[in-house]
Structure 1
């Protein structure tokens, strides 16, 4: 069975603060049993619990990664920002839509303003070697490119919050 895990947190567990809020350090992720025929992988970290007051029409994307080699079995701690495997691409987090340039094109950890939120890391096994996604694409465009070529997915759901500091502005 295709699985994704993290040595930093168990499925359903609390994500350590070192991967959240102002700390721009991606957690370590490992995966196994990549489906036969997989030519690349993609990864999304999303928050389905954004407060209604934000009037945001979908899950909030914290990290979007694509063109991950199927030969890899992990992204080490701190791979993002700046230490991603060769050929791997990252897109903006949704913090950019709220004016935070500090969260452009790399991991942007949890920062829930109101309560504990769920954060879902979804790994996609793809039947294409390479995706061409514009650098300013959002989660919707990422999904449009990734979902039609997906062989299988696996997810890790963790929790974090509430944040100890105000949201970036």
Structure 2
């Protein structure tokens, strides 16, 4: 990996790619649903804002096949956002994709942001993408 590559990392994820329990709905007490610490490096030139999408790539649909389940879509993150609501899974072994987008502009999407709404809005504004995978 080039040292100047746009990167997303989570220091709390172990070398096997496992997401610790406290970052999910299965944590205990105050150590539950904590936002995993994320760090990004080498933002592309011209980046004005970032957007983050977190998906469970192995979620099962009771009426169909396994489909990605979007847990988190974050744009223009304000300081008042308390954190990430972690996943509660029927079984372990799910892969989570954290995808960070470097954008050339701020987004104005209103209060109800979906992954689809975000992806439409960022078309033509993505300067770079960084992906991090974790398993829980």
Per the normalisation by structure 1, the TM-score is 0.66
Summarize the Cα distance change of 1:80–1:58 in structure 2 as closer, same or farther, 3 Å threshold: farther
The worse-fitting range, judged by mean Cα deviation, of 27-36 and 53-62 is 53-62
Which runs of 4 or more aligned residues in structure 1 lie more than 3 Å from their structure 2 counterparts after TM superposition? 54-58
How far has the Cα of 1:81 moved from its partner?
A: 4.7
- Asked whether the equivalents of residues 54 and 72 of structure 2 are also in contact (C-alpha less than 8 Å), the reply is yes
The secondary structure found in structure 2 opposite 1:148 is: coil
Aligned-pair distance for 1:26? 0.3
Matched, 1:2 2:6: yes
Alignment partner of 1:116 is 2:93 = yes
Unaligned runs of 5+ in 2: 27-31
TM-superposed CA distance for 1:55, in Å, is 4.1
Number of residue pairs matched by the alignment: 127
> 1:81-120 counterparts in 2 under 5 A?
81-82=81-82, 107-120=84-97
Alpha-carbon distance change, 35 to 11 in structure 1, aligned in 2, over 3 angstroms: farther
Instruction: Say whether the 8 Å CA contact 2:59–2:66 is kept in structure 1.
Output: no
Unpaired runs of 5+ residues, structure 1, are 70-78, 83-105, 161-169
TM-score by length of 2: 0.80
Aligned ranges for residues 25-104 of structure 1 at < 5 Å?
A: 25-53=34-62, 55=64, 59-68=68-77, 81-82=81-82
Distance in 2 separating the partners of 1:145 and 1:122: 16
